[in-house]
A and B are shown apart, each in its own frame.
Chain A
Amino acid sequence: MAATAAMMPNFGQQISSKNDLVPDWTSQEVSTGTTIMAVEYEGGVVIGADSRTTTGAYIANRVTDKLTPIHERIFCCRSGSAADTQAIAEVVSYQLGFHSIELDEPPLVETAANLFRASCYRYREELMAGILVAGWDRRKGGQVYCVPIGGMLVRQPVAVGGSGSSYIYGFMDSNYKPALSKEECLELTASALALAMERDGSSGGVIRLATISEAGVERRVILGNQLPKFSTH
């Protein structure tokens, strides 16, 4: 997961020099090697992400916001190449905004997820993007859709993504129960992200959380020194 250039032919390396004066990380692609998570609850969704963006071994931005608004009550959590996910999110925001104006009503989360899937699947060879689409609409309430690398689309009540997700599948399987309350979801997300950030080198910084419901979007940040603590053996 860490190798961002692995899927693409090595065009970039032809022009760069192996000169000591200019270190490798200046020419490496910026990756959001990451942990992202989204959980549905009765009446909305809770989404969360860490805040680390890396170029190789260097942290390019330690306070990144990976929770990107697509529409008023639809967000996406980005993992993979920073450039690719930012570009896709822009395109989908535009398409969804246009669609919503045509319909003259707020768009469905399923529509947003399908737009992501359309771009991610069509350009699957060129892109490196793993995205969680989450939001609230009047028809089906809170929904979470997973669009991993390759362009699959599946709805799940709880989803994790990014390089750090591998470390928390066990925690998710044992701690998630259907019909959790909003506060329990926030606690679950914060704990899961903290555990992943502890173990994954490409995840870290602060935890950004957001709750999306009929009432709107509430955002909060858990700073590095306020992270949930676990055993430090």
Chain B
Amino acid sequence: MALSNVLETPAAGFNFDNTARNAALEGLFDGGLTPKPLKTGTTIAGVVYKDGVVLGADTRATSSEVVADKMCAKIHFISPNIYCCGAGTAADTEKTTDILSSNLSIFSLNSGRNPRVVMAVNILQEMLYRYHGQIGANLILGGVDCTGNHLYTVGPYGSVDKVPYLAMGSGGLAALGILEDGFRHDLELEKAKELVRAAIHAGIMSDLGSGNNIDICVITRGGVDYSRPFQESEFRDDRKMKYKYRPGTTAVLTEKVVPLKLEVVQETVQKMETV
């Protein structure tokens, strides 16, 4: 197992170093306006269908009440056959999925095997359990491997559930309503995509933290179809002007060129021993 990790697994037990840092940070801002971590108040969903897995997500990232990113990518690449949707603290989901992806690439190169979804889940579970909820990542992992089509959810404390359909994030409740009503085993591709799209749409309509566009990612044995965006928001606004400055906007008043004088001081040639 040590083979597949580049970073050393830290000593057993929990590492609470950052709580001291957080307390110190709060001390700096008396009156308590500490910078809030960027949360992707989100709707993410996944469905297992006949030939694979469909994952969906909205694209809004919020920082308190302001939309920080209108085209945030919440479906992260883990390996060519495994993708992961992340809800919770944006930095945590981004970094966690990055680390997982690197570890799985190394494993693939070392062993010559394609990674299995259950392996990705186990690595995530170990990491998140070790940090005892401090990493705010709610993840939906979906993928296809030689054992079949799989969909898992991993919670921030390290609990794992394996289910045929899922929705997470602040808009997850609204999305789950659509999924509970429309899910059937062995759906066809178009129906599955429509179901996930409708679920994310419900999340966007009912939740302030979700919005903008919908991304859909379809994973099958044959490959991955990542539509970003799958559906654009009908409320997008068009910019009134062009905000790029054309070359020549800033006038050049004077120009002075000073060449740097360099002399060759010493030159040595060393022959390399060749067999």
Which residues of A pack against B, CB within 8 Å?
Answer: 11-12, 14-17, 19-23, 26-27, 29-30, 53, 55, 58, 60-61, 63-64, 81-83, 86-87, 126
Q: Kindly specify which of B155-163, B196-204, B266-274 makes contact with the partner chain.
A: B155-163
Chain A to chain B contacts (Cβ below 8 Å), 5 pairs = A12-B134, A21-B41, A30-B157, A83-B157, A87-B158
With A27-B136, A58-B173 as known contacts, state yes or no: A17 contacts B159, CB within 8 Å: no
Q: Is the CB of B134 within 8 A of A22?
A: no
B62 proximity list for chain A (CB < 8 A): 21
With A15-B134, A15-B136, A17-B39 as known contacts, state yes or no: A86 contacts B173, CB within 8 Å: no
A14 proximity list for chain B (CB < 8 A): 19, 22-23
Q: Is the CB of B155 within 8 A of A83?
A: yes
Q: Is the CB of B87 within 8 A of A26?
A: yes
Asked if B16 is at the interface of the complex by the 8 Å CB criterion, the answer is: yes
Assuming A17-B36, A26-B170, what are 4 further A-B pairs, CB within 8 angstroms?
Answer: A19-B39, A19-B64, A21-B208, A26-B87
B24-56 with Cβ < 8 A to chain A: 36-37, 39, 41
CA distance in complex: A6, B72 (Å): 36
Asked if B169 is at the interface of the complex by the 8 Å CB criterion, the answer is: yes
B158-180 with Cβ < 8 A to chain A: 158-161, 163, 168-170, 173
Q: Is the CB of A11 within 8 A of B159?
A: no
Q: What is the interface size of chain B, counting residues whose CB is below 8 A from a CB of the partner?
A: 39
Q: Is the CB of B173 within 8 A of A22?
A: no
Asked if B125 is at the interface of the complex by the 8 Å CB criterion, the answer is: yes
Q: How far is the CB of A190 from chain B (nearest CB, A)?
A: 24
Asked if B143 is at the interface of the complex by the 8 Å CB criterion, the answer is: no
Partner of A16, one of B136, B170, B173: B136
Q: Is the CB of B158 within 8 A of A26?
A: no
Partner of A82, one of B16, B23, B159, B169: B159
What does the 1/0 interface line of B74-114 toward A look like (CB < 8 Å)?
00000000000001110000000000000000000000000
B109-151 with Cβ < 8 A to chain A: 125, 128-129, 132-134, 136, 138
With A12-B133, A86-B125 as known contacts, state yes or no: A26 contacts B159, CB within 8 Å: no
